[in-house]
Amino acid sequence: MYITTLLTNPAAPCLDEAMVTSLRNAWGGGDARWLSEGEAAEFPLEAQPENLWEVWADLQTQKVDLVVQPEAGRRKKMLLADMDSTMIQQECIDELAAEAGVGPRVAEITARAMNGELDFEGALRERVGLLEGLDAGVIDQVIANRITLMPGGPELLATMKAAGAYAALVSGGFTAFTARIAGRLGFDENRANSLEIAEGALTGKVIDPILGRAAKVTALEEITAKLGISEAEVMAVGDGANDLGMLGRAGAGVALHAKPVVAAECDRRINHGDLSALLYLQGYAKSEFVTPPQG
């Protein structure tokens, strides 16, 4: 049995009953269930439709995301998440670069690296090199003034953790950011790269080893082994080329507002919804979302 989920941007919901009913009838699905009125709905199917991607493309023009996945085991026991442009709305290194006066150059390299056009490690070293001499105190300023959480993230963490799931933040960015974001959202652990700092300033170097695509897969392997769960019980989410390894290995790999090269490799693509989509994909209704603690 399969489950079809349709969802939209919660800030501008545009899913109507006629759209859901029409697709259910066309595919011979079972009774529809509204997870959130106007925002997300699902219905069961006996088989995956042959015209899935044609319908997906049509719904994209109407700002509706569509996912068809096996019903069994869709509620996961672990969340493995990227940070930049996934759990937060920015790329941390781009924000640091803007403060250092090299924003456009670094942002260009970041975009190419995340789209798989450049070697991740080489691109990271080049970008960090451009930050040499930047006052380390700028990191706190960037976190306070430039970094915003991706909508739906606090509810995603609070709800999955309330259900007993483990949450790990794995980033090709920097521990100075992941530690703060992980603490704010309630992740159980975080892994990232470390910026070298000397005499209160960035040296322009990253402390080895570099955490990239392979290290995210290693995190998946190590944490699932530690928890005694299978990789099939993991939901992974990311947007860049360095996330493809973990997205492909996890039981549910979700490409969130992802680069084209990443989306093309994933069956679960969220282009219009926010992180709450990851709860809808697991069958949670909005009434089941856990409100995260304030502060």
Q: Which residues are identified as catalytic?
A: 82, 84
In three-state secondary structure terms, 181 is helix
- Please name the amino acid found at residue 40: A
The number of helices, as runs of H, and strands, as runs of E, in the chain is: 12, 11
Integer Cα distance of 134 and 56 in angstroms: 45
CA distances from 192 to 90, 108, 179 (A): 16, 21, 9
Paired tokens of 135: 């006052």
Q: Which residues contact 147 (CB under 8 A, 6 or more apart)?
A: 88, 89, 90, 92, 95, 177, 181
Paired sense of beta strands 65-70 and 2-7, if any: antiparallel
